[in-house]
Amino acid sequence: MTRYFALFLLLGGFAFAQSKPDVLFIAVDDLNDWVSYLGGHPQTKTPNIDRLVARGTAFTNSHCAAPACNPSRAALMSGLRPWQTGVYTNNDPAQGVLKDVNTINRHFLANGYNTRGGGKIYHGYGSEGRTDSWTEWAGLFPSIKEHEENMNGLNRGHFDWGPVEGKPADMGDYKLTDWAINHLKTAPTDKPLFLGVGYVKPHLPWYVPQEYFDRFPLADIKLPVTKENDLDDVPAAGKRMAGAEGDHASVLKGDQWKKAVQAYLATISFLDDQVGRLLDGLDQSPRKDKTIIVWWTDHGWHLGEKEHWRKFALWEKATRTSMAIVAPGVSKPGSKTDAPVDYTNLYPTLCELTGLPLPDHVKGASLMPLLKDPAAKWNDVAVCTHGKGNHAVRDAQWRYIRYADGSEELYDHSKDPYEWTNLAGEVGMSDLKAKLGAVLPKEEVKPTSGEAKKKEGKGKKKKAEE
């Protein structure tokens, strides 16, 4: 009887492995819409990213839940929005609030998946402080030129760029790709594989070998499309986010704008090469035909638009992302949808695609209807949050921003794709603003940074008393 029971378990495990698709979960840091298929910059070269996206459905109106690494990743991996967790910015610790949350990787691990992760999936803390979050967590891979060198002369920390000596193989993301390819080819087949591959580039500093800079001659570089005095109709809260007197003023004074664009394009091109290697590795593996690919970038990035640099804002350039899902037998190759979606949609979509139960705390809508029919009716909007009380809502046509002080911005993307004309104060816009604003929270939890300081203070007081 025992022998038959063991055989039953063995065959049952084999059947489970065969019935569940593998998942290649690719995260990218600081990549905006400068990919060829989104047309964010006319000189970008991303043939491999385009090749990946063309295998399934591209979401051309996708947005992060927060325009910073830490809160964006915390929201995507947990299915919880910043106002639910208190993780609003990079300064808000996520470890404590996520330590008992059933995140995507934990959910897949608990449901029989071999979960392997490497590179950057979460922000700055590989497995959220727990050892039971992954089957294996490889972490970051060492890279050349990791420390700030002030190559551009601006002396603004890791806000730096320039060509470095070394080979592509010396870069951390190259080593990460080797690691991922090895798992695709050799991971045991008795369990389905969830492989998290977190690319660090094009995060600052933009240090890549000279060959990538050579692909974009400096004399030919085109600057982003901008408008003089673009911030004139932006409320004070938005101007503070722009911080024009900081990065932008330094870039102009140091005559670094073209060099920065060149460096960003070069770093994206390096990333694209790694994506090509990863795709080739998948195609040469036994998992080729049964692997779901999820491609996502954690937020957008400004390079001088609205006199702003980096992410950390609620405009289109900061919130728009590159996202695609390749689901064999479900998505249609080469399909695109402009439905407004955000990263709280990914967790439920993955559960539905793989047949896993949906955790009770995950409330986002699955993208399955859009994967089956990119033109399907979609009633949701994308919501992005940057700091408590500051939110942007994006539907198919409009972007509405409401700051914590009640000030507003409103842009009509059908006529104003660069968001140059703020219509929030125009007559006749009240109903539209009310409709878009109806999705925003009435209550928001405090930032975890405040709670952490409070606990730290109590700890110091207790220690002093002891």
Tell which wins on pLDDT, 129 or 315.
315
Query: What is the chain's mean pLDDT, rounded?
Result: 92
Instruction: Give how many domains the chain has, as a whole number.
Output: 1
Question: CA 248, CA 242: separation in Å to the nearest integer?
Answer: 9
Place of tokens 């890791």: 158
Domain that residue 156 falls in = 21-381
Taking residue 86's Cβ as centre, other Cβ atoms within 10 Å add up to 24
pLDDT, tens digit, for every residue of 364-422? 999 999 999 999 999 999 999 999 999 999 999 999 999 999 999 999 999 999 999 99
HSE toward the beta carbon, residue 402, CA cutoff 13 A: 17
Backbone φ and ψ for 107, nearest 5 degrees, come out as -65, -40
The pTM for the full model equals 0.93
The answer for 155, left when phi > 0, alpha when psi is -120 to 50, beta otherwise, is left
Identify whether 123 is a catalytic site residue: yes
* Across 70-88, average pLDDT: 97
Of 41, 63, 107, 123, the catalytic one is 123
Residue 428 belongs to some domain of the structure: no
202 within a domain of the structure (yes/no): yes
Residue 277 lies in a domain: yes
Q: Which positions ≥6 away from 292 have C-beta within 8 Å?
A: 21, 22, 23, 24, 325, 326, 327, 328, 350, 353, 354
426 found inside a domain: no
The answer as to whether 75 is a domain residue is yes
Largest CA distance in the chain: 81
Q: What is the CATH number of the domain that holds 332?
A: 3.40.720.10
Q: What is the pLDDT of residue 83?
A: 98
Task: Return the residue matching tokens 């409401």.
Answer: 402
Residue 9 lies in a domain: no
pLDDT tens digits along 235-284: 999 999 999 999 999 999 999 999 999 999 999 999 999 999 999 999 99
Over residues 82-96, mean pLDDT = 95
Kindly state whether residue 387 falls inside one of the protein's structural domains. no
**297 within a domain of the structure (yes/no):** yes
Strand ranges inside 287-340, DSSP E? 291-297, 302-303, 309-310, 323-326, 335-337
DSSP assignment of 191-204, as one string? S-EEEEEEE-TTSS
CB 197 within 8 A of CB 176: yes
Read off the tokens for 130: 């727990």
> Per residue in 420-443, pLDDT tens?
999 999 999 999 999 999 999 999
Q: What is the pLDDT of residues 91-131, one digit of tens each?
A: 999 988 998 999 999 999 999 999 999 999 999 754 454 66
* Residue 369 preceded by cis peptide, ω within 30: no
Of 41, 63, 64, 69, the active-site residue reads 69
- Is 183 labeled as catalytic in the residue annotation? no
- In this prediction, residues 190-219 reach a mean pLDDT of 97
pLDDT in tens, 152-167: 999 998 999 999 999 9
